[in-house]
Amino acid sequence: MELRHLRYIVASARNGSFSAAAHEFNVRQPIVSKRIKQVEEELKVQLFDRTTAGARLTPAGEEFVVGARRIVDDVDRLMERAKARGAGKLGQVVVGFYKSLSAGGFRVALSDFRERYPEIEVELIETPFIELTAAVLSGAVDIAIILGDAGKCEVLDSIALWSEHLVVALPESHRLASQSVIYWPELKGERFLISHHDPGPDIRNILLRNLAAPSDHPEIISRRLSRESILSEVAAGQGVALQCESAVGLTSLGVVFRPVHNGHGATRLGYIACWKPDNANPARKSFVEALKPRS
């Protein structure tokens, strides 16, 4: 007895006819009749009463079809789930990230993905950048969301995602607080507070790229503090701090936020997604496709 035999029996019972079942499976009626007869001979029990009007289940047949229908339905569900997993519509994807200047763009993308692929479980892991890249290379993390430009991690594949404006947090009494825009040269001589934790190293690189000169380097103070605590230190007059535009909503901390511009306009911070080139997880592929910027 094969699965196709059960399908013929279930279809014949549903349609009340061997010929109708044959039409459903696009085969000739004698094939369906022969396969059902083979099952009856194997079981030594008659499942259908054959008449000129069609085929009607016998009492034994009615009992048999209940179990046969359950088996067919279970197999169909298994096949559907296997196809969905292979197509990247079912499964699990592990996404790593470190405390960034803003989680806004990532949270929006994550919410959109979960709505689009409700049967893919997304496991989130927050860890320092060094540990994150190691986890991607080892396969423990499928995809990482980090600050930077595509190609930042040469051994990983990557795509550029969204970008956000860079702002500087100033004490309310700061000499530049009355300006609507701050230009990089105006920040020379300032004392910059950054977090020891990620993305502190990224902020340091941004400062050095925009303010360092052969004979002059910005004063950068690293603290083992959260973003909120860094901003509280700014409010207390201990320095200024670079943040992403989403921090502008933190208005109760006694600081003001102003966009930072260079000669070409607003300074922006880019985010990228990166993954191991041989990561074959179909759910990872779906996650990458969902993250790709829409034109």
Closest C-alpha to 92, from 282, 265, 249, 260: 282
**For every one of its 295 residues, what pLDDT tens digit does the chain have, with 9 covering 90 and above?**
888 899 899 999 999 999 999 999 999 999 999 999 999 999 999 999 998 888 999 999 999 999 999 998 888 877 877 776 666 667 899 999 876 544 567 888 888 899 999 989 999 998 888 888 899 999 999 999 988 877 778 899 999 988 888 999 999 999 999 999 999 999 999 999 998 887 888 889 899 999 988 888 899 999 998 888 999 999 999 999 998 877 776 666 789 999 999 988 999 888 899 999 999 899 999 999 888 876 5
**What Å distances lie between residue 8 and 42, 48, 58, 126, 249, CA to CA?**
15, 12, 16, 53, 64
Q: What does the pLDDT read at residue 226?
A: 84
Q: Return the ∠ at Cα 124 (arms to 121 and 129), rounded to 5°.
A: 145
The residue type at 230: I
Helices (H), the chain: 3-15, 18-25, 29-43, 59-86, 104-116, 129-138, 200-211, 227-235, 282-291
Question: Can you tell me which residue has the tokens 């006694």?
Answer: 254
Closest C-alpha to 18, from 34, 33, 7: 33
Q: Which domains does the chain have, with CATH numbers?
A: 3-86 (1.10.10.10), 91-161+270-291 (3.40.190.10), 163-268 (3.40.190.10)
Helices (H), 139-281: 200-211, 227-235
